[in-house]
């Protein structure tokens, strides 16, 4: 009966706040729901695998199929343990992931320029102010020249999350903190969130750009809105508008929450695109299921024509399915290099 109740986690979440994306329970309850929901899904997957294995063995031996109860009990324990590990992995403050990316046309004055990417923070009852404070402190200590947030800052309205997002006000980098909206911002009052995030000192780039300078050299930082925006009556991603008036010949670093349109960005001459949204697939192997709806871009680095796409595993997760196995969270510290 307890597992049956846990299987309806998203229904209870909707009843608690009006949205399946914002479970408004005490944090320990949200953690327990995620553990139980994960255990159910993992148990189902493992049972199916065992049943398939039992059928194969039965066919080979030409005997009636059968799996002992003891095996099923062991699988139940394994599923519960794996779910606990997965939730713990999801909740930790992300480690730093360092990578270097060559950028064609990059001025030597920008060689070694460090960009710290945060994405999919999903600040919520599961990832509250105390967690956000630790992330901000770690981010500020990484020596980045620029901090960018590629969407899905929150789960909840401004009224619900005002205190939890307050630590973001303290993000600091010499060239500033920039962001673009993700699909979740549109679920909870897009315009209000855009104003509130800007009030926290985060410069939002909805179909806009900002030139970065090192002496006479320029690097264009551009951003677009999320693909889901038109469904909520807001302007969809418009790369032409984002690049209007940008310095000619300067390489473009594009922030786009979803990686799906990377081919379009590459054709428009973008040098580097940073995205999130997929959470890296959350569980190793699940990336294959998430590949088709994201045009094959789920986790890590991709070469798309002359453009490099980096899809971060994310800083956190949607609190309705907060499990990670083999796909750890990350703070991506990207060092730009002059491409040969």
pLDDT of 66 strictly over 80: no
pTM listed for this prediction = 0.94
Over residues 136-142, mean pLDDT: 98
Beta bridge partners of 213: 218
Tokens at 142, concatenated: 């990484």
| Neighbour tally for 215: CB within 10 Å | 8
pLDDT of residue 182: 97
Separation in Å, CA 334 to CA 235, 305, 329: 29, 20, 15
Over residues 195-199, mean pLDDT: 98
| Residue 286's pLDDT band (cuts 50, 70, 90) | confident
Residue found under tokens 């990417």:
117
pLDDT of 289 strictly over 90: no
pLDDT of 106 strictly over 80: yes
For residue 208, give the H/E element and its range.
Answer: strand 208-214
pLDDT of residue 275: 98
pLDDT of 29 strictly over 80: yes
Tens of pLDDT, residues 112-123: 999 999 999 999
Buried b (16+ CB within 10 A) or exposed e, 316-329: bbbbbbbbbbebeb
Find the distance separating the first CA and the last CA of the chain, reported in whole Å: 62
Separation in Å, CA 98 to CA 22, 231, 243, 296, 326: 32, 36, 28, 23, 18
Do strands 208-214 and 252-255 pair parallel, antiparallel, or not at all (unpaired)? unpaired
CA–CA distance, 76 with 17 (Å, rounded to integer)? 32
CA–CA distance, 43 with 78 (Å, rounded to integer)? 8
pLDDT of residue 32: 96
Over residues 243-265, mean pLDDT: 96
CA–CA distance, 324 with 286 (Å, rounded to integer)? 11
pLDDT of residue 58: 83
pLDDT of residue 135: 98
Q: Find the helix packing angle between 129-140 and 158-165, rounded to 10°.
A: 50
Phi-psi region of 288 (alpha: psi -120 to 50; beta: other; left: phi over 0): alpha
| Residue 61's pLDDT band (cuts 50, 70, 90) | confident
| Residue 168's pLDDT band (cuts 50, 70, 90) | very high
CB neighbour list of residue 123: distance below 8 Å, 6 or more residues apart: 131, 132, 153, 154, 155, 156, 161, 164, 165, 168, 316
């Amino acid at each position: 009966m307890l597992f049956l109740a846990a299987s309806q986690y998203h229904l209870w979440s909707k009843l608690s706040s009006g949205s399946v994306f914002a479970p408004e329970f005490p944090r320990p309850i949200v953690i327990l729901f995620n553990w139980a929901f994960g255990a159910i899904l993992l148990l189902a997957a493992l049972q199916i695998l065992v049943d398939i294995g039992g059928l194969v063995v039965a066919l080979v031996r030409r005997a009636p199929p059968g799996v002992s109860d003891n095996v099923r009990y062991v699988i139940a324990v394994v599923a519960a343990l794996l779910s606990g590990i997965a939730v713990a992995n999801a909740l930790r403050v992300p480690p730093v992931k360092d990578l270097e990316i060559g950028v064609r046309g990059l001025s030597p004055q920008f060689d070694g320029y460090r960009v710290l990417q945060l994405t999919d923070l999903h600040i919520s009852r599961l990832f509250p102010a105390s967690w956000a404070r630790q992330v901000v402190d770690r981010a500020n200590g990484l020596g980045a020249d620029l901090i960018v947030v590629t969407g899905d800052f929150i789960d909840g309205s401004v009224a619900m999350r005002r205190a939890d997002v307050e630590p973001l006000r303290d993000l600091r980098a010499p060239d500033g903190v920039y962001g673009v909206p993700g699909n979740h911002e549109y679920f909870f009052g897009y315009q209000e969130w855009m104003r509130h995030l800007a009030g926290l000192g985060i410069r939002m780039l909805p179909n806009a750009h900002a030139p970065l300078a090192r002496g006479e050299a320029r690097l264009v930082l551009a951003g677009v809105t999320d693909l889901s925006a038109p469904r909520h009556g807001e302007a969809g991603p418009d790369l032409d508008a984002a690049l209007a008036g940008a310095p000619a010949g300067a390489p473009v670093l594009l922030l786009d929450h979803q990686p799906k349109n990377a081919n379009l960005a590459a054709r428009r001459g973008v040098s580097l695109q940073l995205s999130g949204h997929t959470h890296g697939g959350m569980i190793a192997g699940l990336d294959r299921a998430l590949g088709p709806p994201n045009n094959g871009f789920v986790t890590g680095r991709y070469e798309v024509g002359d453009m490099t796409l980096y899809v971060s595993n994310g800083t956190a997760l949607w609190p309705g399915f907060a499990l990670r196995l083999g796909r750890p969270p990350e703070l991506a510290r990207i060092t730009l290099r002059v491409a040969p």
